Chains A and B, each alone.
Chain A
Amino acid sequence: MTDVEPDPLTIAGTDLGSRLLLGTGGMTSPESLAGALRASGTSLATVAVRRVDPVTRHSLVELLDGMGIRILPNTAGCFTAADAILTAQLARDAFATDWIKLEVIGDDRTLLPDPVELLDAAERLVDDGFVVLPYCGDDPVVARRLEQVGCSAVMPLGSPIGSGLGIRNPHNIELIVEQAGVPVVLDAGIGTASDACLAMELGCSAVLVASAVTRAEDPAGMAAAMRDAVSAGRAARRAGRIARRFVAEASSSFEGMVAPEGTDAV
């Protein structure tokens, strides 16, 4: 598999290189996370913003900075626009970045986004100078509204966070891709490599994976597989697939065939 990336991912004018983004959620140890990050080839990883734990010896910030991986803070766990906005402001001061992955959820069972709070928070954060990357449902109408209020990407889910159910509504993802003027990043629900490959084949610009890697039996192995899958899916998309047909189209011409004995030659 080539290491050359001829069409790097660009979000908000920034060249991010790799089209595989990694979430740190679910990591079992710093060593495991470092191995997965290395194998993935990613240049951006998401982190949650949480109260400091005086007992913790390791620093996630130092780990990511040391690997040259850009930090994308996330408002994970927020249920209201107000909470998400405060979290984003804290993240901006903590990590000296205007970038924020905006996650505002409607309930803690499905972790599905609350589109009303999400749109409110997105608009206010964009107005405050943030580069907003919103995690959203696969509704093309909401995705369009998020772009209209100034988000720098849209990040529709394939299926619920951590579910590993893959892309439940590929048709909607294609609709979002078709209308979007900003990068579309498939975010949430990816379970294995083929899901990531499909996302790229559907026209997504990138894929964000967390649980599928961090909770795999072999996180570094799965991260490498995801890297290849994203690369393959992107190449397939650029190569232009054949259309789907209801009936067959012969790949071998009927012309020039040897005539069966006892019949007229055609």
Chain B
Amino acid sequence: MSGGTCTVNGETQELAPGTTVAVLVARWCPSPRGVAVAVNAEVVPKSTWDRTTVAPGDAVEIVTAAAGG
């Protein structure tokens, strides 16, 4: 069975089965420093990224600091 898709920051992405949050973050960010993740509008704590699997259909948001505020 092939993996489905998820969205990351609004973009649809192929999702291999068993992909963890840590793997997704590593694709998008040179460093996890100053980065946070929400899956389906719930924060996934940094300490659990490498054991939290992303499921097909999940909406993932990867955020960091930007000029503003």
Measuring CB to CB, which residues of chain A are less than 8 angstroms from any residue of chain B?
23-27, 33, 46-54, 59-62, 64, 71-74, 76-77, 86, 89-91, 93-95, 101, 103, 210, 214
Contacts and interface: CB of A to CB of B under 8 A. Distances in A.
A24 B67 contact: yes
Interface of B: 9-10, 28-29, 31, 33-38, 41, 43, 45-46, 61-69
Contact of B34 (A59, A72, A77): A59
Contacts of B38: 86, 90
Contacts of B45: 93
Nearest to B32: A94
A73 B67 contact: no
B52 to A, nearest CB: 13
B68 A94 contact: no
B64 A94 contact: yes
Contacts of A54: 28-29
A86 B41 contact: yes
A90 B65 contact: no
Contacts of B63: 49-52, 90, 94
A238 to B, nearest CB: 29
A59 B45 CA distance: 21
A235 to B, nearest CB: 28
B42 to A, nearest CB: 8
Given A52-B29, A90-B36, A95-B34, A74 B43 contact: no
Contact of B36 (A23, A26, A48, A94): A94
Nearest to A27: B67
B69 A23 contact: yes
